[in-house]
Structure 1
């Protein structure tokens, strides 16, 4: 079986790649940072393919590389993403477009590219890493939240369309995860407010009833649940330490 993971160089994407590799999948890893990709690939248990690329502009090229090497993609995990923070009246057109391009349009293009081969094979698994922001609105993250609401809508509609074709489509919706993306959030908040970074991190952890950040491995476990269970489709699986109940 062959899997493609976007944003696979670090954080959630790397944890997912390692988990799938440990389950016997050949894993193609793509992200912009080639050094990080090679380190992530070295941590995998089985065969890997490193495909450095900017997923916002190179979806077809990434899939072409994987198909040329392995013949197709059985599992797509669309993980690449980023966040931004600003009051709604200060969000620039550029920031808005960047959030939508990376968090919504790039996953759409990946899904669009993966579906024909999966349907032809009669089997496929698509998992998009969304966020608890796909299910609620928090202040100062309107662009990010809009992109994540949109990608959950994409997942639900694609799942309904493909349910009879042997292809499942799900989202995993993490809360605050102990990743470099959260490190960036902490640094930005600390810089804007003058607060101690350790206190900022503690505040983010406290937003989750379990009182801590989610680990990347816990998110990878949820991805595997979506991959391994053919009766689960059209779902947004929360991994938020109880911050969102559904």
Structure 2
């Protein structure tokens, strides 16, 4: 149960893992702030939570986190409304598959801004305030891709490796404080029709790692509250991570390239 004046802030909260985390936190009795693109879906999710949990507080902010000013906009919105954030969930992100030159440079700029820069800026803005509270948490959503170099998914995997490295470093810096830092590294999560189709193209290997957003959210939050550094939902993703330490790099690269080139055709 959250203090009546404190909130969990979830970015990318209108769909997929972000939506599931927001719903899970609400079910735990927490007040929740939902941040996502300014689309009707965001207001629908917020309205549904308000109806289901009338004694708790919910609010939504539509903003494009690919824009440089968005993290400051989010922080200022919280300050202006008196929202005290004790759990920050940096979930918003953009994935893709395909040959590097198949996308315009502007796409990758936006992807890197969203997946890395906005996450860092938002964390930096809220961290000083979070230090003043009894116990707070940062949950950064990376990916199983953060453990590998992935041809045909290079910018995405590199951006998630950045999230992984930044989060581990920050966790060490904050280990003597009240702030816990956990990294969520999910594999295949069936979040929308495009993801489901891409996942289907990956074949059996991907099917063995599939999980619902609700399963991922429950596992991630449990690990976060336990103070764990990393949350890898599911048995098979843990197996794949272990195999990554054994399989020679050149073979890994060939296997990953063969797998993800299917999505670029």
What TM-score range do you get, normalising by the shorter chain? 0.7 to 0.9
The answer on whether the counterparts of 1:30 and 1:53 sit within 8 Å (CA) in structure 2 is: yes
Structure 1 221/52 Cα, relative in aligned 2: closer, same or farther at 3 Å? same
Task: Please report how far the alpha carbon of residue 62 of structure 1 lies from its aligned counterpart in structure 2 after TM superposition.
Answer: 1.2
Which residue in 2 is equivalent to 1:228?
Answer: 225
Which residue in 1 is equivalent to 2:41?
Answer: 36
| Secondary structure of the corresponding residue to residue 105 of structure 1 | helix
| Secondary structure of the corresponding residue to residue 140 of structure 1 | coil
Distance 2:13 2:219 in 1: 16
Is 1:146 paired with 2:173? no
Match of 2:202 among 204, 214, 225: 204
Distance 1:168 1:82 in 2: 25
| Secondary structure of the corresponding residue to residue 149 of structure 2 | coil
What is the aligned residue count?
228
Is 1:162 paired with 2:174? yes
Task: Please report how far the alpha carbon of residue 92 of structure 1 lies from its aligned counterpart in structure 2 after TM superposition.
Answer: 4.5
Task: Please report how far the alpha carbon of residue 240 of structure 1 lies from its aligned counterpart in structure 2 after TM superposition.
Answer: 5.1
Distance 1:141 1:215 in 2: 22
Structure 1 150/38 Cα, relative in aligned 2: closer, same or farther at 3 Å? same
| Secondary structure of the corresponding residue to residue 92 of structure 2 | coil
The answer on whether the counterparts of 1:134 and 1:148 sit within 8 Å (CA) in structure 2 is: yes
Distance 2:224 2:82 in 1: 19
Task: Please report how far the alpha carbon of residue 8 of structure 1 lies from its aligned counterpart in structure 2 after TM superposition.
Answer: 0.4
Distance 1:185 1:227 in 2: 26
Please, which runs of 5 or more residues in structure 1 have no aligned partner?
187-196
Please, which runs of 5 or more residues in structure 2 have no aligned partner?
243-265
The answer on whether the counterparts of 1:152 and 1:236 sit within 8 Å (CA) in structure 2 is: no
Distance 1:105 1:157 in 2: 16
The answer on whether the counterparts of 1:18 and 1:43 sit within 8 Å (CA) in structure 2 is: no
Structure 1 205/31 Cα, relative in aligned 2: closer, same or farther at 3 Å? farther
Q: TM-score, normalised by structure 1?
A: 0.84
Taking only aligned residues, the RMSD between alpha carbons, in angstroms, comes to: 2.1
Deviation digits for residues 201-239 of structure 1 (CA, Å, limit 9, x no counterpart) = 43436224x63621000111123124422x32xx23212
Distance 1:203 1:85 in 2: 12
The answer on whether the counterparts of 1:78 and 1:129 sit within 8 Å (CA) in structure 2 is: yes
Structure 1 37/89 Cα, relative in aligned 2: closer, same or farther at 3 Å? closer
The answer on whether the counterparts of 1:56 and 1:106 sit within 8 Å (CA) in structure 2 is: yes
The answer on whether the counterparts of 1:3 and 1:76 sit within 8 Å (CA) in structure 2 is: yes
Which residue in 2 is equivalent to 1:3?
Answer: 8
Distance 2:212 2:17 in 1: 8
Which segment is superposed worse, 19-28 or 114-123? Answer: 114-123
Which residue in 2 is equivalent to 1:245?
Answer: 241
